Amino acid sequence: MIYLQLYWEFFKIGLFAVGGGFAAIPFLFDLANRYPWFTSEALVNMIAISEVAPGPIGVRMSVYAGYQAAGIAGSLVATLGLITPGVISICILVRFLKTFSRNPKVNNIFYGLRPAVAALIAVAALDIMQITVLDFSLLPNINALSIIPLILLGVLLAASKWIKWFSPLMMLGMAAIVGVLFRL
């Protein structure tokens, strides 16, 4: 039964998460709330691990979530569920590509989808920030250690904006070092 649930849930994610893997993150948060497969905190770790591994992030997250829920078979089923809608839609779109590419109504539909995809990614970013940077459970007891992640975020954003030699790799390295130092 869990395999059917995994397939169906990831099929829906693959069908409705238009715009790629990051657009799937809000759907994964919803799964974390509805099923005991993984928690929201585990989802944040899943995203971090998925960013390190090669390949599309949506597929990497489905592998991780499926494995958490039902082992290796679960990861295969979840991944199959995630990619099935894409495979079906690509097969259909390839057949009618010339007709669709010249149709202004279809172009307008895709133009209208762009803000929705951006909103899904923004919601995912806010959810991740709430768990990782803005720990709202600390608000009544704000202390210096609870503000440090916000200060670090501000410094990294400022450095990446104004210092041209400051690379994303340097940001990750600095953030990791600071995270280790403040968790000791």
Residues 122 and 166 in one domain: no
pLDDT at position 74 is 95
pLDDT at position 121 is 73
Domain count, the chain: 2
Counting as low any pLDDT under 70, the low residues of the chain are 97-98, 120, 130-172, 174-175, 178-180, 182-184
Residues 121 and 36 in one domain: yes
Residues 148 and 125 in one domain: no
Residues 34 and 108 in one domain: yes
Of the candidates 25, 3, 1, 2, which has an alpha carbon nearest to the alpha carbon of residue 80? 3
Cα 121-125-84 angle, rounded to 5 deg: 45
- Give the global pTM: 0.57
Question: 104: domain range?
Answer: 2-132
DSSP state of 53: S
pLDDT at position 140 is 53
Whole-angstrom distance, CA of residue 179 vs CA of residue 74: 32
What tokens appear for 57 in the block? Answer: 């992030």
DSSP state of 103: -
Q: How many helices (H) and strands (E) does the chain have?
A: 8, 0
Residues 126 and 144 in one domain: no
Residues 85 and 148 in one domain: no
Residues 115 and 86 in one domain: yes
Q: With contact defined as beta carbons under 8 Å apart, do 60 and 75 qualify?
A: no
Residues 73 and 162 in one domain: no
Residues 111 and 142 in one domain: no
Q: Any residues with CB less than 8 A from the CB of 110 and at least 6 apart, and which?
A: none
What is the tens place of the pLDDT at every residue in 70-118?
A: 999 999 999 999 999 989 988 887 877 667 777 787 777 777 777 777 7
